[in-house]
Structure 1
Amino acid sequence: MPRNRRLISLVLFLVALFVPSLARAEPAIWVVKGPHATVYLFGTIHALQKSDSWHSPKIDAAIQQSQALWLEIPNVDDAASMQPLVVQLGMDKAHPLSTKLTPDQLAKLNKAAASAGLPGGEAMLESFRPWLAALTLSLVPLMQAGYDPNTGIEIELKPEFVKANKPVKGFETAEQQMRYFADMPDKAQVDFLSSELDDYDSTVDKFKQMLAAWSAGDTDALDKLNNAEFRDKYPDLFQILVVKRNRAFTAQIQDLLKGDGVSLVAIGAGHLVGKYGVPAMLEKQGYKVTRQ
C-alpha cells in the first residue's frame, strides 16, 4: 500500500510549515509560567531534509527540563493507523472532484497534477474531496524537492521523550485534526483547493522564504509569510484552520498552567505567531509570555 501510506503522510503533516536547510537555526521558543507550572512553546516544522539540524542550546535546555511533551496529535509517527480515517473523511467516489470545479479551476488542477507527476494525472484525484486534493498538491512539490514528513521535528522529538520515559500527549486526535478540513462546507473546501492551485508554481520558493524567517526566529516575517495572505484572501478558512485551533490550544495550555511540572508544547510554527497566535492569546488571558 505505498500510495496509501504516502497519502496518509500528506494528510498528517500538513498544517504548518515545511522548510529547507536549517544550518545554524535559532527558531523562536517562549516560556509561560503558572503558579506551579512552566510551559515551553516551540514552533515545529513538519517536514525536513534528512541532513537538517534544528537543535539549539535553548531548545535542548527546554527538552531537558520538560517532564512531558505535548504535540498536535500524539500518534504522529503512526501513519498506517490513520488510513481508515483518510478513506472515510477524504474520499467521495460518488461525486468526482472535477464536477465540483469551474473549467478554469479544472484546467489548473490538470496542470498541477501533471507537474506533480501523479500517476494518471488528475484522474488520481477524482475520488478525493477538495480538501484532500488541496493538501496533497501542497505537499507534493516539497517532497519532490527532498523534504520528508518522516524527518519532521515531531517525529524526532517524540523518541527523545519516550526513551527518557517521559509521557507524550496530544491536544487533538487525528480525527479531530482531519475534521477541521473535512467538515468545511463544500465551497470552503473548493476555495482551499483553489488557493493551492493559484500558488502551486511558487510553493517551493515560498517555503524557502519561510525557512529564512523561521530559522532566524523572525516571528513578524514568519507571520507575514505564513498567515497574512491566507488571512486576507480567505478569512473564513483562516478562522477555521488557524484561529479556531489556536483558541483550543490556548485553552488546553491554560489547563497545563493551572497544574504543576514542566511541559514542552511543540506545535506547528504558524500557530505561534501573529496577533492570533497562541502566545498572543495567552497574553490576552493575563499570562506573561517570555521569548527565550
Structure 2
Amino acid sequence: MPRRCTRNRRLVLVVLFVAALFVPALANAEPAVWVVKGPHATVYLFGTIHALQKDDPWRSPKIDAAIQQSQTLWLEIPNVDDSASMQPLIMQLGMDQAHPLSTKLTPDQLAKLTRAANSVGLPGGEAMFESFKPWLAALTLSIAPLMQAGYDPSTGVEMELKPEFVKANKPVKGFETAEQQMRYFADMPEKTQIDFLSSELDDFDSAIEKFKQMLAAWSAGDVDALDKLNNADFRDKYPELFQILVVKRNQKFTTQIEDLLKGDSVSFVAIGAGHLVGKDGVPAMLEKQGYKVTRE
C-alpha cells in the first residue's frame, strides 16, 4: 500500500475514534449498562470502548441480553467502518497548507511536539504535522501512544456491534455525522485548538499510565472513578473545551434519546463511555428530565 494511503487511513481512524474515551477491556469485564424506560419504549445505554487490542473481551451476560432485546443500534456516527468517505473531510477541515503548524506554536510547545512525535515513531517526526491544524495534531497525538501499545481503533466495540446488528437485519443509526464530529474540533477558535494540543502534549508522557487506570475503572464498572480519571482534569483545566466536546454533545444526545423514549421500540445506544459518567453525563441529564435511569 502506498505510504500516502496508509497515512490517510491512520488519520481517518484518529478522527473517527478519539471523540470519546479510549480504554481496553480486561478478562471478566463487567462494564456499566443502564436502562431507561418510556411509556412504551426501552433504551439501553452502553459506554463504548473505541480502541481495543485484538480479541480483547468486553461482553457480559447483561450486555448480551440488552443487545439481543434491542431492535436498533444507535452509535455516535453510523458509518464508523467507512474510512474512505472521511478522507475528503480530513483534507477540508483538518489541513492548512498555507500556515505551518510550527508557526502557531511557542518554542516550548514545538519542542514537546517534536519529542512526542519522535517517541512514537511517527513518520517524519514533527514535520508530519506541519500541514495539520492544531485540533488534528492533538487528536493524532492522543491516540498515537495507544496504537503503539497495540490498541487498534479498527477493533473497537463499534466495529463489533455494527456487523452484529447488520447480520441480524437490525437498523444501525447515528446521532451525529462524521462531518458534525469533525466540526466540533475544526470550528473551535484557533486558540482553543492550540490549548487542546497543548494539553495533549503536557499529558503525553503519562498517557499510558492514565490509560491503565481508566482501564481498571471501566472494567470494574466504577463510573465515579471513570469520571474522575476521564473528565475531572478536562473539566477543570479546559472548561470551554469541555463544554464544546462533552457537555453540549451530551445535551444533544439526551434530547435525541428522549425522542427514542417517546416511541415504542427497544434501542441499544452505544456511545463513548466518557459521555455516560458524572454530573454532565447522559444518564444524569436524563434523570434531570424526570426519567428513571437504572444500572443493570
Residue 203 (structure 1) aligns with: 207
How far apart are residue 83 of structure 1 and its match?
A: 0.3
**Which of 81, 87, 91 is 2:85 aligned to?**
81
Aligned pairs for 1:102-113 within 5 A: 102-113=106-117
Instruction: Output one character per residue of 1:145-169: Cα deviation in whole Å (capped at 9) or x when no partner.
Output: 0000010000000011000000000
Residue-by-residue CA offset, 1:180-217 (whole Å, 9 max, x unaligned):
00000000000000000000011111111001000100
* Counterpart position of 1:189: 193
Q: 1:46 aligns with which of 37, 45, 50?
A: 50
Partner of 1:16: helix, strand, or coil?
A: coil
Match of 1:95 in 2: 99
Name the structure 2 match of 1:178: 182
Q: Tell me, which stretches of 5 or more residues in structure 1 are unaligned?
A: none
Deviation at 1:20, TM superposition (A): 3.5
| Aligned partner of 1:231 among 231, 235, 240 | 235
Tell me if the contact between 1:116 and 1:137 (Cα under 8 Å) persists in the aligned partners.
Answer: no
The corresponding residue for 1:5 is 9
1:115 maps to amino acid = S
Shift of 1:16: 1.7
For the 8 Å contact 2:25–2:219, the answer to whether it is kept is no
Q: Does 1:285 align with 2:286?
A: no
User: What is the TM-score of this pair, normalised by structure 1?
Assistant: 0.99
Letter in 1 for 2:119: S
Equivalent of 1:212, from 199, 206, 216? 216
d(CA) in 1 for partners of 2:256 and 2:109?
A: 39
8 Å CA contact retained: 1:69, 1:158? yes
In structure 2, what is the equivalent of residue 260 of structure 1? Answer: 264
Counterparts in 2 of 1:21-36, with a 5 A limit?
Answer: 21-36=25-40
Tell me the SS of whatever aligns to 1:42: strand
Identify which of 62, 67, 75 aligns with 1:63. Answer: 67
Residue 242 of structure 2 aligns to a residue whose secondary structure is: helix
1:21 deviates by 4.5
Q: Quick one: which of 250, 255, 259 aligns to 2:254? A: 250
Conserved? CA contact 2:135–2:196, under 8 Å: yes
1:27 Cα offset (Å): 0.3
Aligned pair partner of 2:151 in 129, 137, 147: 147
For residues 40 and 119 of structure 1, what CA distance do their matches in structure 2 show? 41
Tell me the percent identity. Answer: 84
Deviation, 1:51, is 2.3
**Could you tell me which residue of structure 2 aligns to residue 169 of structure 1?**
173
**Long gaps (5+) in structure 2:** none
2:240, 2:247 → 1: CA distance? 10
Show CA shifts across 1:33-92 (max 9, x none).
001100000000000000201000000000000000000000001111100000000000
Q: Which of 99, 122, 140 is the aligned partner of 1:118?
A: 122
Q: Give the Cα separation in 1 of the matches to 2:215 and 2:84.
A: 29
Q: Residues 17 and 207 of structure 1 are in contact (CA less than 8 Å); yes or no, is this contact kept in structure 2?
A: no
Of the three residues 141, 151, 162, the one matched with 1:158 is 162
